[in-house]
Amino acid sequence: MAIIIFIFCLGFLIFIHELGHFLAAKKSGIKVEEFGFGYPPRLWGFKKKGTIYSINALPFGGFVKILGEDGKGKDDKKSFASRKPFVRAKILVAGIVVNLLFGILLLSVGYFVGLPVTVDENNITKVKNINLSILSVSSDSPADEAGLKSGDVVLKVRAESEEASQMISEDFQSFVKNHQGQELTLVLARGKNILEKELIGRANPPEGEGALGVMIGEVGTLRYSLGQSIVHGIKDGIRIFLNIFILLFYVIKSLFTHDQLAGSLVGPVGIAALGGQTVKLGLGYALQFLAGLSVNLAAMNLIPFPGLDGSRILFVLIEKLKGKPVSLRTENAVHSLGFAALILLTIIITTKDIVRLF
C-alpha cells in the first residue's frame, strides 16, 4: 500500500511538471490541443476553448499536447513553432521551475511541521527527539542481508548476555567492535513497528564499510517558525538542485574509472521501493523524499540531453545565437535518438532494480 501511495505521489510530480508547460503555453496565447491526467487510452474528457481536458487509463503523471511543439505550423500564430525563441524557452523551462518551486514548498512545509535531520554541532541545540538511526546500508553487507533499512531507529543491541541501549553512535560502534564475530540482535523501530534483526559483523569489511555495513548517526526533528521554514526551504531546495549537477559530474566520471557510483543508480522500480519505505517512516521523511525527488526532476530536465526539456532549450538558444533554427529534421532525429537512449537506460536500470530487490 505504501508503494502504491508513493507511485501516485510520483505521478503527481510529473503531472505538475506538465502543468507548468500548460500554464505557460496558455498565458502566451499558444493553443494547447490536450491536457491530460494520466496516460492514454483516454477514459473521459471534455473540450473547452479549443483544449481537450482528459482523464486517462494509466493514472501516473500527465501530458500536454501543444500545437506546433513538433516544429510544424510556423505560419499559425497560435503555434508553438511560430513564436520567438524567448517565448518558446519560457514555456520549456516552466515545467522545471514548477518542480523546483514545489520541492521548495514541500521542504518549507516540512520544516514547519518538523523534518528529520542528522544532528551536528551546528543544530544540536535546535533538534528535538534525538534517536540513534541508520543513515545508509551498504549493498551485500550483513546489515543489507538482515533487512536493515535507512531510517531504522536502533533501540537496543544484544550479544549473548550483554545488552546496550540509549546509545550514541560511538557507543554502538564500540559495542559492535567488542563483539566482532558474535551474533548480534538489533532491536529496531521502523515507523510504528518494532523489529528484531540478527546479524554477525565482518572481521575484514571492504574499505569504507564497517563490520555491519551501516552508516549510523543521531537523527532528530528540526522545526522552525513559518518565516524561517520558508527561508530554509529555499536554501535547501537550491542546494539540492546544485548538488545534483555535482553528483552527475561524478557519475559520469565513474564511468571511466573503477568507482561504483554509476552502478548504484536506481530507476523507477528502485525509486518506488525507496519511496514506499520512506512513507512508512512518517510524514517528515515522506516530505523530505518527495521534495528531493521533485527538485531532482527539475534538475534532470534541465540537462541538455536529447529528449529532455534541456535539449529543447539548447536548440532554442542555438537558434537565437545563429539567427536561424536548426533544421527540423536534424532536431527531431536528435530528440528521437535521445528518447530511445533514455528508454534503453531506464530498462537496464529497472532490470537491475528488480534483480536487486527480488
Q: Are residues 7 and 107 in the same domain?
A: yes
pLDDT tens for the chain, residues 1 to 358: 656 777 777 788 889 999 999 999 999 999 999 999 888 889 999 999 889 999 998 877 788 999 988 878 788 889 998 899 899 999 999 999 999 999 999 999 999 999 988 888 888 888 888 899 998 888 888 898 898 988 899 999 998 878 888 888 889 988 988 888 888 999 999 878 899 999 988 878 887 788 898 899 999 999 999 999 999 999 999 999 999 888 888 777 766 666 655 555 555 555 666 666 677 777 888 898 899 999 999 998 998 888 788 888 998 998 888 888 777 788 778 878 877 877 777 677 667 656 665 5
Tell me how far apart the alpha carbons of residues 43 and 229 are, in angstroms, rounded to a whole number.
Answer: 41
Q: Are residues 106 and 157 in the same domain?
A: no
Residue 202 lies in a domain: yes
Q: Are residues 87 and 166 in the same domain?
A: no
What is the reported pLDDT for 20? 94
What is the reported pLDDT for 124? 80
Residue 341 lies in a domain: yes
Q: Are residues 107 and 152 in the same domain?
A: no
Residue 132 lies in a domain: yes
Q: Are residues 14 and 60 in the same domain?
A: yes
Residue 241 lies in a domain: no
Q: Are residues 27 and 59 in the same domain?
A: yes
pTM for this model (two decimals)? 0.82
* Contact (CB, 8 A) for 151 and 129: no
- Domains held by the chain: number: 2
CA distances from 223 to 59, 83, 160, 238 (A): 34, 46, 40, 19
Residue 44 lies in a domain: yes
Q: Is 196 a catalytic residue?
A: no
In this structure, what CATH number is given to the domain that contains residue 174?
2.30.42.10
Residue 35 lies in a domain: yes
Q: Are residues 23 and 69 in the same domain?
A: yes
Tell me how far apart the alpha carbons of residues 259 and 272 are, in angstroms, rounded to a whole number.
Answer: 25
Give the strand pairing for 153-159 and 162-165.
Answer: antiparallel
Q: Are residues 7 and 61 in the same domain?
A: yes
Domain ends where: 222, 242, 257?
Answer: 222
Q: Are residues 8 and 107 in the same domain?
A: yes
Q: Are residues 100 and 25 in the same domain?
A: yes
Residue 137 lies in a domain: yes
What is the reported pLDDT for 259? 60
Q: Are residues 55 and 156 in the same domain?
A: no
Domain ends where: 222, 243, 265?
Answer: 222
Domain ends where: 222, 241, 260?
Answer: 222
Name the residue range of residue 170's domain.
128-222
Q: Which of 18, 34, 69, 331 is catalytic?
A: 18
Q: What is the 3-state secondary structure (H, E, C) of the chain?
A: CHHHHHHHHHHHHHHHHHHHHHHHHHHCCCCEEEEEEEEEEEEEEEEECCEEEEEEEEEEEEEEEECCCCCCCCCCCCCHHHCCHHHHHHHHHHHHHHHHHHHHHHHHHHHHHCEEEECCCCCCCCCEEEEEEEEEECCCCHHHHHCCCCCCEEEEEEECCEEEECCCHHHHHHHHHHCCCCEEEEEEEECCEEEEEEEECCCCCCCCCCCCCEEEEEEEEECCCHHHHHHHHHHHHHHHHHHHHHHHHHHHHHCCCCCCCHHHCCCHHHHHHHHHHHHHHCHHHHHHHHHHHHHHHHHHHHCCCCCCHHHHHHHHHHHHHHCCCCCHHHHHHHHHHHHHHHHHHHHHHHHHHHHHHC
Residue 263 lies in a domain: no
CA 81 remoteness from chain centre: 32
Q: Are residues 297 and 339 in the same domain?
A: yes
